[in-house]
Chains A and B, each alone.
Chain A
Amino acid sequence: MKKINNYLLLSLVYLTSVCILFIGCDKQKNADYGKYTRQEMRYYAYAPPNIPHEVINRRCIDCHLEGLVVQGFRAPVTPHPTLVNCEQCHVRADQTVALFKENHFVGEHEETSLGKPQPAGPPLIPHRIFMRENCVVCHNDSMRKNIVQTTHPERSNCVQCHVAQQNVAEASLARAE
């Protein structure tokens, strides 16, 4: 009996530490979760967000497909789960690494809110929707502190009322001469 107890205890300790190590540990190192506004996670509006945690386990989907909650933070659910080669766009940009040379680039970010054209109507979408067609991953998640949450998650066809505010007719072939 004692032997089995010891064995069980040992296994439990082993499994727990593996779980902590596997899921939690690497994400705690050099994690910049505090900087969670859209603007600080990317260099300009249409850039993909950088990875704010160290990457040891490269199976991103394990956390980012369904939004695993780790240590009080939810891993943002990917709005484009069919694009599976995550590393081609998302890189770990550890802010503690010294730069090779300084860079003067200043990125343009989107408006965070464009308000409502009529007081009783729906607010406008102030950002580009391309590759972010799945609204609820940000707008129906109470853990996302900096993002406005929907008052009516039961209505699923968001774009029938909410429209994005830019169009490509104005943004056609420009010629700066």
Chain B
Amino acid sequence: MSVSRRDFIKRCAATAAYASLPLSLLNNKELSAFPVEGSLDPTLTWGKAPCRFCGTGCGVMVGVKDGKIVSVAGDQLNPVNKGLLCIKGYSLPSILYGEDRLTKPLIRNNGKLKTASWNDALDLVAGKFKESIAAHGPKSVAMYGSGQWTITDGYAALKWFKGGIGSNNVEANARLCMASAVTGFITTFGADEPMGCYDDFEKGDTFVLWGNNMAEMHPVLFSRILERKRTASWARIVDIGTRQTPTTEWADLHLSMEPQSDLAIANAIARHIINTDSYDKNFVNNHTVFKRGKENIGYGLEDKFKFKESAQSISFDEYKKYVQKYTFEYVEEISGVPAAKIKQLAEIYADKFTKVVSLWCMGMNQHTRGTWINNLVYNLHLLTGKICEPGNNPLSLTGQPSACGTVREVGTLAHRLPADMVVMNEKHRKKAAEIWKVPVSNIDPKPGLNTVEMFRAFDRGDVRVMWTQTTNPMVSMPNLNRYTAGAQKDGRFLVVSEVYPTPTTDVADVILPAAMWVERTGMFGNTERRTQQWFKLVDPPGEAKPDVWQTMEVAKRMGYGDLFPYSEDNYEKELFDEYRLFTLGTGHDLGAYEQYVEARGLRWPVVDGRETPYRYTAKYDSYVSKGKDIEFYSNHKTGGKAVIWARPYEPAAESPDKEYPFWLCTGRVLEHWHTGSMTRRVPQLHRAVPAAYMEMNPTDAEKMGVQNGETVLVKSRRGSQKLRVVLNGKGKPRPGSVFTPFFDESKLINQVTLDSYCPISKQPDYKKCAVRIEKISV
């Protein structure tokens, strides 16, 4: 096939025209130096979108032909990934096209699912909500959403529940993922979300990874670190973990630690910083205060577990005394890491001239002392003043694509309102009531149930009607057997909005087919505060509808139409415009909708149309008071100072013992997303990792006479699973530890895990419980 001469010349001209495109399309000055080479197939229609998967928030260009997605390319104009993706990103075109996509509403009657019209299904759902509220009050209903919800999905649910019904039982699966990061931010800085951004990857000297497998879980960001290593010969990677992973292979220093001992290691480093006089005296004096909170705070194992912090201010000298017990030798005993290695890591933090970026995700957050360990890593950056400047920051990595943008910023949590506001604060309730045009008495000042307590309440019957959207709790809840059984008891009504059949739809009373990703217009917010927008590019299959539409329809049928006076074809923008009002003037400012349409995302606060790469520093953040260089301006209680918390090491909720001698850790693999409902239906991802397995340490296996590939029984006090053993695979656990990924709905490892949680954040600990391994007799 040849191209006519005219076509050829036309295309050359167009290429030249591209070279003079206005710079407004490139929202990052650095990009104009980047060799953008066009070459996207012009026979397709292309649109930008953030990736559907992890919290990195890579930009993709989606190629559409004849109403179907036929291609995806990494978006070279997006500063997050600059055209690179990972295999899940490259698999995006297929995730919409699994054969068993849900296309019609389904109602379960006498155990059998029957298709229904939207009218009937929505009327039924609205009816059940009304009934339960009338008979048992607003606390008897609950909404369980997701960090994969778009911003408007979350905002509509929040407004309906908190402004309309008057129930604070709105939660999201981000409670299982980022809650400890949130409470870490709030207790240390007075406001949520990182002060730094991804620009740190090109500026940092040493990257310290605290229990996160970046090579598999944030691969594109890890590629930026590797590129930094390649171009800056002094750059180093430190990998701290309870197992060796693909990330470990790239590390210059690996600390193999006993689970939970990160608390001790962080304290040992703080002690070294102080004892060697390596702390930044000016920074500590001007920008920090010291506090000590409650200790021995429990594990959230009892129903209705309550915790209330009581903190006292302490002096620098008291803090110094507090950390003295964490000598390198003492911490070696707890952690198994040689004292010399801990000292090596401490010296990296202490060295004035080494820019350090600390990175973490589930290892630190899914932790019964998750808030504490977040505080402790912040301490290291606050003591040394290595914070709020490019290349020198703690960077809490987010797991889901919009845990930040939706759950944390919109506030879809039991105690929250948008822009870091809380229901307990009268001023905050007043502001919300004003924007929502509802009486302030509608908003309940008492926080609702956090996720684990919500499912416990569903089991007990205190919650009777629950609606889940874009999440799969019947695979992801810890101590799963209790919650699966609970959901099926009499008098419980479960509504599930989903795209594919899952173990959660298996126990649902009503299943509502949902539109997925670019089948609707939407917005996500990623780890680095970058809010990104996309337009609908293809139609959803059958009668599937966006979550936000479903929520509004049910709300209207319950009489809350006044809350949702938006137009049928532009509600996405109208909802966002309204939500944006919460953020203006708060330091969480979002830009105008039109800006997000044009840009490859913008990092908030967006002030005078410009994004803020680094917060709390006068150089970049216009919210810092005049005359100050650094100010944590949201921390009103401390006068704009960050808090250095004295936090101890405390053991895990359930440690190995004689009867259950192994640690069980759970997590993910690169190829699969969470519970696998999307990725297992992509042939290349499924074939790459078809089934769950259990990683074991070869020495342990040899002692037990277990061979590579053998099926064994892993058992805890709560449940068991038969799993195939993998020795020397991609991940290698320490002796005394095993690891299983949770993507496989036919191997529900969460039947084995424990529903302990951090008393402050209420986030469960999926990384630690005690199990035994049994050989299965042939």
- Residues of chain A lying within 8 A (CB to CB) of residue B90: 43, 46-48, 89
* Cβ of B2 under 8 Å from chain A: yes
- In the assembled complex, how far is the CB of residue B518 from the closest CB belonging to chain A, in whole angstroms? 9
Asked if residues A107 and B687 are in contact (CB atoms below 8 Å), the reply is: no
Interface 1/0s, chain A 99-141, versus B by CB < 8 A? 1111111111011011111100000100111110000000000
Which A residues lie within 8 Å of B87 (CB)? Answer: 48, 88-91
Identify the 10 closest CB pairs spanning chains A and B, nearest first: A115-B2, A88-B219, A108-B70, A168-B38, A167-B38, A91-B688, A105-B94, A171-B40, A169-B18, A102-B99
From 57 to 85 in chain B, residues with beta carbon under 8 angstroms from any chain A beta carbon are: 61, 63-65, 68-74, 76, 83-85
User: Contact between B684 and A43 (Cβ–Cβ < 8 Å)?
Assistant: yes
B226 at the interface (CB under 8 A from A): yes
Residues of A within 8 A of B671 (CB): 91
**Known A166-B38, A169-B15, A171-B42; contact A114-B687, beta-carbon cutoff 8 A:** no
Residue of A nearest to B249 (CB): A58
A133 to chain B, nearest CB (A): 9
Q: Mark B507-548, 1 if CB is under 8 A from A, else 0.
A: 000000000000000000000000000011110000000000
Q: Is the CB of A85 within 8 A of B71?
A: no
Q: A166-B40, A166-B41 are in contact. Are A173 and B86 (CB under 8 A)?
A: no
Q: In A63-93, which residues have CB < 8 Å from any B CB? A: 82-85, 87-93
- Residues of chain B with a CB closer than 8 A to A46's CB: 71-74, 90
> Which single member of B94, B230, B537 contacts A103 (CB below 8 Å)?
B94
| A43 vs B87: C-alpha distance when bound (angstroms) | 11
Q: Are B683 and A93 in contact (CB-based, < 8 A)?
A: yes
Q: Residue A177 contacts which of B230, B535, B684, B685 (CB distance < 8 angstroms)?
A: B535
What residue in chain B is nearest A91 (Cβ atoms)? B688
Cβ contact of A92, chosen from B72, B226, B688, cutoff 8 A? B688
Looking at the assembled complex, report how far the CB atom of A43 sits from the nearest CB atom of chain B, in whole angstroms.
6
List CB contacts (< 8 Å) of B11-48 with chain A: 11-12, 14-15, 17-18, 21, 25, 36-42, 44-48
Using known A-B contacts A85-B219, A89-B85, A176-B535, determine if residue A101 contacts B681 with beta carbons closer than 8 Å: yes
Interfacial chain A residues near B85, Cβ < 8 Å? 89
Residue in B5, B64, B670, B687 whose beta carbon sits within 8 Å of that of A94 in the complex: B687
Assess whether A39 is interfacial by the CB under 8 Å rule: no
> In the complex, what's the smallest C-beta–C-beta distance from A170 to chain B, in angstroms?
5
CA distance A110 to B71 in the complex (A): 10
In the bound complex, do residue A114 and residue B99 qualify as a contact, i.e. CB atoms below 8 Å apart? no
Rounded to whole Å, the gap between the CB of A142 and the closest CB of chain B is 26
Partner of A91 from B44, B68, B684 at Cβ < 8 Å: B684
| B333 proximal to A (CB < 8 A) | no
CB of A156 within 8 A of chain B? no
Name 25 A/B residue pairs within 8 A (Cβ), A-sorted.
Answer: A46-B71, A85-B226, A88-B216, A93-B688, A99-B683, A100-B686, A101-B98, A103-B98, A104-B99, A115-B1, A117-B8, A166-B11, A166-B40, A166-B41, A167-B14, A167-B18, A167-B39, A168-B38, A169-B14, A169-B15, A171-B40, A171-B46, A173-B48, A175-B47, A176-B536
Residue A164, interface by CB 8 Å: yes
Q: Beyond A85-B226, A87-B216, A174-B64, list 16 extra A-B contacts (CB 8 Å).
A: A44-B72, A48-B90, A84-B230, A87-B730, A88-B223, A99-B687, A100-B680, A107-B71, A108-B41, A117-B3, A130-B83, A167-B18, A168-B39, A173-B597, A174-B46, A174-B535
Using A43-B94, A166-B40, A174-B45 as known contacts, say yes or no to A93 and B684 having CB atoms under 8 A apart: yes
In the bound complex, CA of A94 to CA of B538 (Å): 30
Give the residue name and chain of the B residue nearest to A44 (CB).
B71
User: Nearest CB to that of A97 among chain B residues?
Assistant: B687
Q: Which A residues between 137 and 177 are near B, CB-CB below 8 angstroms?
A: 163-177
Of the candidates B40, B96, B250, the one having the most CB atoms from chain A within 10 angstroms of its own CB is B40
Given the known inter-chain contacts A103-B681, A129-B37, please indicate yes or no for A114 contacting B223, CB distance below 8 A.
no
Q: Is B246 an interface residue (CB 8 A)?
A: yes
**For residue B216, which residues in chain A have a CB less than 8 angstroms away from its CB?**
87-88
Interface residues in B457-504 (C-beta closer than 8 Å to A): none
Q: Which residues of A contact B (CB under 8 A)?
A: 43-48, 50, 82-85, 87-95, 97, 99-108, 110-111, 113-118, 124, 127-131, 163-177
Q: How far is the CA of A87 from the CA of B73 in the complex (A)?
A: 18
Contacts of B684 in A (CB 8 A): 43, 50, 91, 93
A90, B246: Cα distance in complex, Å: 14
Residues of B within 8 A of A117 (CB): 2-3, 5, 8
Across the interface, name the chain B residue whose C-beta is closest to A94: B687
Asked if A164 and B68 make an inter-chain contact with CB atoms under 8 angstroms apart, the answer reads no
Q: Does B100 contact A (CB under 8 A)?
A: yes
Within the complex, the shortest CB–CB distance from B472 to chain A, in Å, comes to: 15
**B537 near A168: Cβ-Cβ < 8 Å:** no
Nearest CB on A from B527, distance (A): 17
- Chain A residue numbers with a CB within 8 Å of B39 are 127-130, 164-168
Does B97 sit at the interface, judged by CB under 8 A?
yes
| Chain A residues, Cβ within 8 Å of B44 | 108, 171
* 8 Å CB interface, B218-268 against A: 219-220, 222-223, 226-227, 230, 246, 250
Q: Are A101 and B99 in contact (CB under 8 A)?
A: yes
Q: Is B362 an interface residue (CB 8 A)?
A: no
Tell me whether A170 and B84 are in contact (CB under 8 A). no
| Closest Cβ neighbor of B65 among chain A residues | A108
A134 CB to closest chain B CB, in angstroms? 14
From the candidates B8, B61, B670, B687, name the one contacting A171 in the complex (CB within 8 A): B61
Q: Closest Cβ of chain B: how far from A1's Cβ, in Å?
A: 41
**Bound complex: CA A19 to CA B87 (Å):** 31
Would B38 and A93 count as touching, CB distance under 8 A?
no
Select which of A84, A89, A171 is within 8 A of B86 by beta carbon.
Answer: A89
**B250 proximity list for chain A (CB < 8 A):** 85
Q: Smallest CB–CB gap between A55 and chain B, Å?
A: 10
Chain A CB within 8 A of B93 CB: yes
Residue among A130, A164, A168 having the largest count of chain B Cβ atoms under 10 Å: A168
Given contacts A44-B71, A107-B93, A166-B40, are A176 and B219 in contact (CB under 8 A)?
no
Most buried by A among B45, B87, B535, B690: B87
Q: Which residues of B contact A114 (CB under 8 A)?
A: 1-3
Instruction: Tell me the minimal C-beta distance from A45 to chain B in angstroms.
Output: 6
Decide if B215 is an interface residue (CB 8 Å cutoff).
Answer: yes
B687 in contact with A95 (CB, 8 Å): yes
**Contacting pair B537 A170 (CB below 8 A):** no
- Please measure, in the bound complex, the distance between the C-alpha atom of A167 and the C-alpha atom of B36, giving whole angstroms: 10
Nearest residue, chain B, Cβ from A116: B2
Bound CA span A21–B521, Å:
52
CB of B601, distance to nearest CB on chain A (Å): 13
Residues of A within 8 A of B38 (CB): 164, 166-169, 171
Q: Check: B682 CB closer than 8 A to any chain A CB.
A: yes
Cβ-closest chain A residue relative to B7: A117
Contacts of A131 on B, CB cut-off 8 Å? 83-84
**Which residues of A are found within 8 Å of B690, using beta-carbon distances?**
97, 100
Q: How far is the CA of A61 from the CA of B86 in the complex (A)?
A: 19
Q: Which residue of A lies closest to B36 (CB)?
A: A168
Which residues from chain A contact B100 at a C-beta distance below 8 Å? Answer: 101
Q: Which residues of B contact A88 (CB under 8 A)?
A: 86-87, 215-216, 219-220, 222-223, 670
Residue of B nearest to A95 (CB): B687
Name the distance in Å between A176's Cβ and chain B's nearest Cβ.
Answer: 5
Most buried by B among A88, A95, A128, A175: A88
CB distance from B355 to the nearest CB of A (A): 22
Nearest-Cβ distance from residue A86 to partner chain B, whole angstroms: 10
Contacts of A47 in B (CB 8 A): 72, 90-91
- Given contacts A85-B223, A170-B14, whether A104 and B63 have CB atoms under 8 Å apart is no
Give the interface centre of B37, B222, B250, B536 by most chain A CB atoms within 10 Å: B37
Q: How far, in angstroms, from A84 to B47 measured CA to CA in the complex? A: 29
Contact in complex: A130, B47 (CB < 8 Å): no
Give Cα A6 to B295, complex, Å: 70
Please state if A83 and B3 are interface contacts (CB–CB under 8 Å): no
CA distance A65 to B538 in the complex (A): 40
**Residues from chain A with Cβ under 8 Å of B8 in the complex:** 117, 124
**Scoring B residues 332 to 369 as 1 if CB is less than 8 Å from chain A, else 0, what string do you get?**
00000000000000000000000000000000000000
